[in-house]
Amino acid sequence: MNHEEEVGSQPRQVLEKEELLALAARIKDDYPYCLQMYNTLLLTARGLNACFQYEIYVPRNHQDSHIVIWRSLIEWKNMSIYCREEEVPLLIKVMKGSHFLGIVEELPVNFFFILSYQLDAILETLQEVLGIRLQKYQGSCYAYETRQESPLRCPVGMKVQRLGRTGIQRMLENNRYWNNASLDLFCSLAENLPMVGIYLDPDVVEEVIDLNDISSAEDEATPISQVGYTPHGTVGLLWIDVEYRRLGLGSLLAELMGRLQMSEGFFPHGIVVYYNDASARMFKKLPGWRKTHCIDRIVPAQ
């Protein structure tokens, strides 16, 4: 690569709301592969950048490309890269540029949401430029594509509410991947994004859930099940107390989150790692949800 090519393909940071929204609109038709990056761009454009500490980059002199580089500077630092299949050669040029290498070297190697057509090229390039051996972990993406119109109802003696502080803490403690995350950060996210739980209430005979009127739980209230919106823009952090499993509460919350995200203009989707058979079975049974594609995570080899 000559000097002019390297400068032209160096990533530049996108800071303005208008450009972030235009970038999201540009990649939107790449559905379903753009799911995570589209949501990330919307989250950043809508002012949640202060919570997430996201940085968004695009190639400097390729105004029409769909290449987007995202990194998060919050405590579990990670990155993701999006492009169309035909843009993989240009993406590799970007990855071999000095600016990109500086970005990567500042962070642990933790790449999420790598698409199948990107995987081999990205893995080989990262191993080459970083000089370390990497490994991949596959997952499946399930997207909520068709909003269901039937009313959502809680079982007798239960109600849906937005999570209070105790509910958010419980959600993090019961999750394998986020149990060391900042409670204050997730409480801040919950002020802007749907984090909901199911709470016991013996006075409730039947509750039809109104998406536009979900009350907030008291901070000290403890839910029996909860689900959240991860900083990756996905439906996740689903947990159900053991004694309340097999009652359809997980399916209810996944459907509720799908409707909530769709109503806010996001692409509702969840990521299921290859060994999580229970979640895969749940998504396969849910009306409106379908498996769209596979993704990989790249991390240093053990």
CB 28 within 8 A of CB 34: yes
Side chain identity at 116, as an amino acid letter? S
Side chain identity at 71, as an amino acid letter? R
Residues in CB range of 102: below 8 A, 6 or more apart: none
DSSP 97-125: SHHHHHHHHTS---EEEEEHHHHHHHHHH
pTM: 0.90
CA atoms within a 13 Å half-sphere pointing along the CA-CB vector of 105: 10
Helix H or strand E segment including 71: strand 68-72
Give the Cα separation of 167 and 255 in Å (integer).
19
Domains of the chain, CATH where assigned: 3-132 (3.40.630), 153-300 (3.40.630.30)
Please list the pLDDT of the chain residue by residue as tens digits (302 residues).
554 555 567 899 998 999 999 999 999 999 999 999 999 999 889 887 666 778 999 999 898 999 999 988 775 678 899 999 999 999 999 998 888 888 887 667 789 999 999 999 999 999 998 888 999 999 999 999 988 788 999 999 999 999 999 999 998 888 777 767 788 888 888 888 889 999 999 998 878 899 899 999 999 999 999 998 887 788 888 889 999 998 999 999 999 999 999 998 999 999 998 888 888 888 888 888 999 999 999 998 87
Give the Cα separation of 140 and 184 in Å (integer).
30
CB 226 within 8 A of CB 195: yes
Residues in CB range of 131: below 8 A, 6 or more apart: none
CB 239 within 8 A of CB 172: no
Give the Cα separation of 10 and 7 in Å (integer).
5
